[in-house]
Amino acid sequence: MDGLRKIVDQLKPTFSKGGKLAKLESTFEAFETFLFVPNKTTHVGAHVRDYMDLKRTMVIVVLAMIPALLFGMYNVGLQHSISIGETWSIMDSFLFGLIKVLPIIVVSYVTGLGIEFAFAQVRHHEVNEGFLVSGMLIPLIVPVDVPLWMVALATAFAVIIGKEVFGGTGMNIVNPALTARAFLFFAYPAQMSGDKIWVEGLSQGEGIVDGYSGATALAEAAAGNMQNLPSVAEMFFGTIIGSIGETSTFAILIGALILLYTGVGNWKIMLSFVVGGFLMGTLLNVFATDTNPYMSLPAYQHLFLGGFAFGAVFMITDPVTAAQTERGKWIYGFLGGFIAILVRVVNPAYPEGVMLAILLVNVFAPLIDYYVVKGHVKRRMKRFAVKA
Amino acid sequence: MSEVVKIKKGLDIKMVGKAEHTLQVSKSSDLFAIKPTDFHNLTPKLLVRVDDEVKVGTALFQDKYRPEIKFTSPVSGKVVAVNRGERRRILEVVIESDGKHDVLEFKKGSAATLSADEIKENLLGMGLWPFIKQRPYGIIANPESKPKAIFISGFDSAPLAPDYAFILKDQLSSFQAGIDLLAKMSGAPVHVSLPAGQDSPLKQVKNAKLHTFAGPHPAGNVGIQIHHIAPINKGETVWTVGPQEVAMIGRSLENGHLIAEKIVALAGSEVIKPQYYKTTLGTSIKEIVAANIKEGNVRYISGNVLTGTKISKSNFLGFYDSLLSVIPEGDYYELFGWALPGFGKFSTSRTFFSWLTPNKEYRLDTNYHGGERAFVMSGEYNKVVPMEVMPVQLLKAILAEDIDAMEQLGIYEVIEEDFALCEFVCTSKIDSQEIIRNGLNLMIKELS
């Protein structure tokens, strides 16, 4: 450790102000603080500080995504093997998925971090850790067949337009990862929708079993083919067709436990999102007709399908874009879940509504907070009136 | 006694090195200083020069804009230095004691014999007035103002805090006299808050409303207590006085001269034998810390680790402080520190495995443990501010310099110490106390 520290200390002057490579100060600083927690001591205010910092927070979130990621890799292989009519071992499926998914992760991180570093450099800021999470979220919410250049483009769009123009991590209005997904969805509708994109190799169509459709459960449901839906166990454990990391509610729940136990994820938002979705699902059940069988899909199954669980645990809970007030969090989460299922079932243009619903409530979060704060001020005023 | 107020939000930071209940009297310093920097919003006007002879109670400087407020020498002797900082700002007026205790005499008496005006005159003359702070703003009270009430917190819940039950156990009559004097002078009710579950000697205090508070820090902060007893509205003023200072007021006025003795706790993980010292206001800490501090790079803090002031080991104890904390400096690098499991790292979040040992006492240092970032996490501050206040929203209103919003969100009720825990728990390492003080200064400027 001392040796490494020595090397860093020797390099430091080169990258500091006045040094040859001073232009890369933020970059150097980012790598240095990645290796070492800095020796900076308190100078104003509290002399002691909690060990918690943003790096730790972000690392915990990435850790929580690992189960979903690993399962997603396995599932990529599994779905491919089904599509070509073969039976692969778990290891084969996983390795196949690993090879397919890893490039997407690398592209996402390299593009995003590159831009983050550049912006930090220009602004003379420290590099923010926010993208550690976004960079992992993006690969998990795209279909496996997505071209890598699209991932790069979408990531760049999300980081620049979704985040940096607002001032960087902590200042953004909408979730950057969802911005990337929405960009893909709207910029390349031909490549990003339909039944051919969810299973690796299906769009090329080589060696595919006759009659294999590749449609996601949601697409089947939207088309009214309720008999084609997977079983509840398949939905829950995630051996179904869908975006890379979104299919397994089980793996996502492991992540949820990590987030909730460490306190990094907000339980109020998660719970109210699920309650909102469930309530909407139930409401649709009540008004279900024979002509629209989708509406009679049991409400709880909605929670296992599509991106709902992933959205509930990793997307809606993003503290920056969520409501900041405690009461606001309940409203925000509930609205998110409620609208997600509504869009999913009722709007025929979008088979999945979670992404759009979360983006929508992201935009509404400041408004929700505004009214919560207003109510708080009113209560404060009343309290004085009573006590005075 | 009224019912117990239970504080639910907050955080007890358990640290190694709480002072033991032993009182050391022998060690006495020669050097004493009064530091204008201990007082917010004060422009001092110097009244003495180097080499001037002073008595106990001789005015050293006064408030330029409220000249009746004087700051006096706690000992008799000679002014040896007026230390100045940037732009010739006076940092400290240093007096060398001659050990004679020559005193400046004032009219002697108790609440029964002195009139309200005489009490005020004595407090101002002896230099005891600065002990009376006002809310809003946490500055020295205006002698002209009529407070709604006077609040005294009879305990301190901060990390390593001194135990006032121990400090005041032999000063009860002085404490009572102080209460009587303050009540008579102000004509306002006096509230004294006591800790639940402790048999505080202050329970016998008369002529004051007693309140009991239970729960974690900041239950002992007077601001939190005011908030739960009778919150401050716009246009109202309340006064606050520290418990030991109340006793000092009582003792000094009864004897007719300033008696600036006080008991101070020396605590912290780097102290060999943490204990109490009987000393005098503004003492140099040199003798106290001599031969009682472990080796290594340490930080001396006048006050507690959350709100205190960093001082050097030959500097002086702050005007309001009854605690000297000594903790290790954190100027070291830690390889992958953010990624390690963290068994020995105290944190409010469960991301460190220290949650397995909730009752462990920690040796905390002064490292930031991360870099400063924008607000990212939400709801962290709410858990440590037991007030009907939205901390983040208030801080943001201050940053935006939105006076109306600051008023509505409760700027009158808070001072920086009430936000010290926010600063401690903050993931983004935002210095909230500084923001609050800037907000208070802005309010003072805008509303005067």
Choose the weakest-confidence range: B57-61, B267-271, B285-289, B431-435. Answer: B285-289
Distance from CA of A262 to the nearest CA of B (A): 4
User: CB of B258 within 8 Å of any CB in chain A?
Assistant: no
What is the count of residue pairs from A and B with beta carbons less than 8 Å apart? 213
Q: What contacts A10, CB < 8 A, 6 or more positions away? A: none
Distance from CA of B317 to the nearest CA of A (A): 17
Give pLDDT, residue A292. 81
Per-residue pLDDT of B392-423, as tens digits, reads 999 999 999 999 999 999 999 999 999 999 99
Distance from CA of A142 to the nearest CA of B (A): 25
Please tell me which of the candidates B330, B331, B348 has its beta carbon nearest to residue A50: B348
**Which residues 141-200 of B have a C-beta within 8 angstroms of A?**
159
Mutate which: A25, A29, A51, vs B, most B CBs within 10 A: A51
Check whether B102 has a pLDDT greater than 60: yes
User: Can you say whether the dihedral through the CA atoms of A382, A384, B1, B5 is positive or negative?
Assistant: positive
d(CA A15, CA A22): 4
Give pLDDT, residue B11. 93
User: CB of B356 within 8 Å of any CB in chain A?
Assistant: no
How many Cα neighbours within 13 Å face the side chain of A385? Answer: 6
Please tell me which of the candidates B368, B420, B433 has its beta carbon nearest to residue A40: B368
Q: With an 8 Å Cβ cutoff, are A380 and B408 in contact?
A: yes
Pairing of strands B309-311, B275-280: unpaired
Please tell me which of the candidates A42, A54, A379 has its beta carbon nearest to residue B366: A42
Q: With an 8 Å Cβ cutoff, are A46 and B331 in contact?
A: no
Cβ contacts (< 8 Å) between A384 and chain B: which residues? 231, 233
d(CA B125, CA B130): 11
User: CB of B314 within 8 Å of any CB in chain A?
Assistant: no
Q: With an 8 Å Cβ cutoff, are B367 and A41 in contact?
A: yes
User: CB of B433 within 8 Å of any CB in chain A?
Assistant: yes
Strand ranges across the sheet with B133-135: B4-6, B209-214, B190-195, B150-153, B238-240, B133-135, B139-140
Q: With an 8 Å Cβ cutoff, are A53 and B427 in contact?
A: yes
According to DSSP, the residues that pair with B54 across neighbouring strands are B77
Check whether B76 has a pLDDT greater than 90: yes
- Which one-letter amino acid corresponds to residue A89? S
d(CA B322, CA B324): 7
Check whether B241 has a pLDDT greater than 60: yes
Distance from CA of B278 to the nearest CA of A (A): 26
Residue B407: closest CA among chain A residues belongs to which residue?
Answer: A377
Tokens of A120: 């930090």
- Answer whether B61's CB lies under 8 Å from B36's CB: yes
Choose the weakest-confidence range: A27-41, A233-247, B178-192, B427-441. Answer: A27-41
Q: With an 8 Å Cβ cutoff, are A52 and B370 in contact?
A: yes
Chain-wide mean pLDDT for chain B? 92
Q: With an 8 Å Cβ cutoff, are A54 and B370 in contact?
A: yes
According to DSSP, the residues that pair with B262 across neighbouring strands are B279
Check whether B141 has a pLDDT greater than 50: yes
Check whether B425 has a pLDDT greater than 50: yes
- φ, ψ dihedrals at B198, nearest 5°: -135, 140
Give pLDDT, residue B349. 81
- Which one-letter amino acid corresponds to residue B74? P
Q: With an 8 Å Cβ cutoff, are A52 and B347 in contact?
A: yes
Give pLDDT, residue B222. 96
Cβ contacts (< 8 Å) between A47 and chain B: which residues? 299, 301, 305-306, 308, 310, 325, 327, 366
Give pLDDT, residue B80. 96
Cβ contacts (< 8 Å) between B226 and chain A: which residues? none
Give pLDDT, residue A380. 87
Please tell me which of the candidates A168, A319, A387 has its beta carbon nearest to residue B230: A387
- Answer whether B166's CB lies under 8 Å from B262's CB: no
Cβ contacts (< 8 Å) between A376 and chain B: which residues? 388, 390, 393, 409
Residue B397: closest CA among chain A residues belongs to which residue?
Answer: A373
User: CB of B309 within 8 Å of any CB in chain A?
Assistant: no
Per-residue pLDDT of B55-73, as tens digits, reads 999 999 999 999 999 999 9
Q: What is the DSSP letter of A321?
A: T
Q: With an 8 Å Cβ cutoff, are B374 and A168 in contact?
A: yes
High-pLDDT (> 90) share of chain B, %? 77
Give pLDDT, residue A388. 46
Please tell me which of the candidates B337, B393, B424 has its beta carbon nearest to residue A49: B424
User: CB of B431 within 8 Å of any CB in chain A?
Assistant: yes
* Nearest partner of A241 among A68, A70, A80, judged by Cα: A80
Distance of CA A97 to CAs A74, A81, A149, Å? 6, 11, 19
* Nearest partner of A138 among A80, A72, A194, judged by Cα: A72
d(CA B343, CA B387): 32
Per-residue pLDDT of A340-372, as tens digits, reads 999 999 887 777 889 999 999 999 999 999 999
Distance from CA of A352 to the nearest CA of B (A): 28
- Answer whether B423's CB lies under 8 Å from B385's CB: no
A307-A312-A317 Cα angle (round to 5):
130
Cβ contacts (< 8 Å) between B426 and chain A: which residues? 49-50
Residue ranges in chain A whose pLDDT is less than 70: 1, 384-388
Residue B347: closest CA among chain A residues belongs to which residue?
Answer: A50
Give pLDDT, residue A328. 95
Q: Report helix, strand or coil for B269.
A: coil
Q: With an 8 Å Cβ cutoff, are B371 and A33 in contact?
A: yes
Whether complex ipTM tops 0.90 = no
- φ, ψ dihedrals at A229, nearest 5°: -65, 145
End-to-end, the C-alpha distance of chain B in Å comes to 39
